[in-house]
Structure 1
Amino acid sequence: MLNSVQLHGRLTAEPQYKDGQTPMVRFSLAVQRNFKNKDGNYDADFINCMAFGNRANMIAQYFHKGSEMIATGEWRTGSYTNQQGQKIYTNELNVNTVDFAGGKNSGNQNSNQQRNSQQGSYGGAQTVDVTDDELPF
């Protein structure tokens, strides 16, 4: 059996990063549907995602609200009982790999600069500001 999902979308908000023994990040991707609705517009699905370890560090550092991302991973379902005693079901993508997508203006650059200065570097690595023109891809 195979559980593999690939999504291409934009982050709906800043990733929620939690540092600890195993770093973790949660974020939501807006993924456009392949067909137009009755009004002639494309609808989107909002997919909850999570990642752990070095992948979480990388996402928190390089992806921000509005960034375009290709995420591949495993679909996870779960459930919990809320305070009212109702069983709530959850669905999210457990991210295994991410790729940059989109062009030079993808995401919010002011937010990127602010976040990089607040978070610093991860794992002893030094943060370096690089423009899209300097990337080899």
Structure 2
Amino acid sequence: MLNRVVLVGRLTKDPALRYTPNGVAVANFTVAVNRPFSNKQGDQEADFVNCVAWRRPAENLAQFMNKGSQVGVDGRLQTRSFDNQEGQRVFITEVVADSVQFLESKKNNQGSGQSSNQSPPPNNQSDEPIDISDDDLPF
């Protein structure tokens, strides 16, 4: 069996970062993904896909990306359910992101007319996200 989802789109709002009671980071976000065709009026439509990222990818997403940022999401589709306050069963389908790729730098997403007089970070470090997955880490 195969359950794999790959999306490229833009964040519809800033990622919502929170922490579980055990201190594990989780970020919920929605990606607007253009459909590969136009409707009868010639307009391009989009799907709005709910996603969730965990741990360090969640923290990186919340720190470096904001509304309008272009991202690539690689993950799996998951459906869960719960009973709401009215006792009704609610089903949620979302993409659980194994990795989130930042497809543009934060500087490119800040809009025109904004400039920064900040000096570069010490030790040649930059605030740019690095493209690394958890599988690449030695620990």
Q: TM-score range by the shorter chain?
A: 0.7 to 0.9
Separation (CA, whole Å) in 2 of partners of 1:33 and 1:42: 7
Shift of 1:102: 4.5
The SS at the match of 1:2 is coil
Residues 64 and 108, structure 1, Cα contact 8 Å, conserved in 2: no
Higher alpha-carbon deviation: 16-25 or 34-43: 16-25
* Aligned equivalent of 1:124: none
* Aligned equivalent of 1:122: none
- Structure with max Cα Rg: 2
Paired AA for residue 33 in structure 1:
R
* Aligned equivalent of 1:63: 65
Shift of 1:81: 1.9
CA RMSD of aligned residues (A): 2.4
Shift of 1:86: 2.3
Shift of 1:87: 1.8
* Aligned equivalent of 2:120: none
Distance 1:6 1:87, change over 3 A: same
Matched, 1:2 2:2: yes
Matched, 1:11 2:42: no
Q: Flag structure 2 segments of 5+ consecutive residues without an equivalent.
A: 113-124, 131-139
Count of residue correspondences: 115
The SS at the match of 1:71 is strand
Separation (CA, whole Å) in 1 of partners of 2:108 and 2:78: 28
User: What are the superposed Cα offsets for residues 23-76 of structure 1, whole Å, 9 maximum, x if unpaired?
Assistant: 111100001111101110111111111011111111111111000000000100
* Aligned equivalent of 1:30: 32
Separation (CA, whole Å) in 2 of partners of 1:73 and 1:89: 19
Separation (CA, whole Å) in 2 of partners of 1:38 and 1:11: 26
Separation (CA, whole Å) in 1 of partners of 2:5 and 2:69: 19
Separation (CA, whole Å) in 2 of partners of 1:7 and 1:102: 15
The SS at the match of 1:96 is strand
Q: Flag structure 1 segments of 5+ consecutive residues without an equivalent.
A: 111-126
TM normalised by structure 2 equals 0.73
The SS at the match of 2:56 is helix
The SS at the match of 2:109 is coil
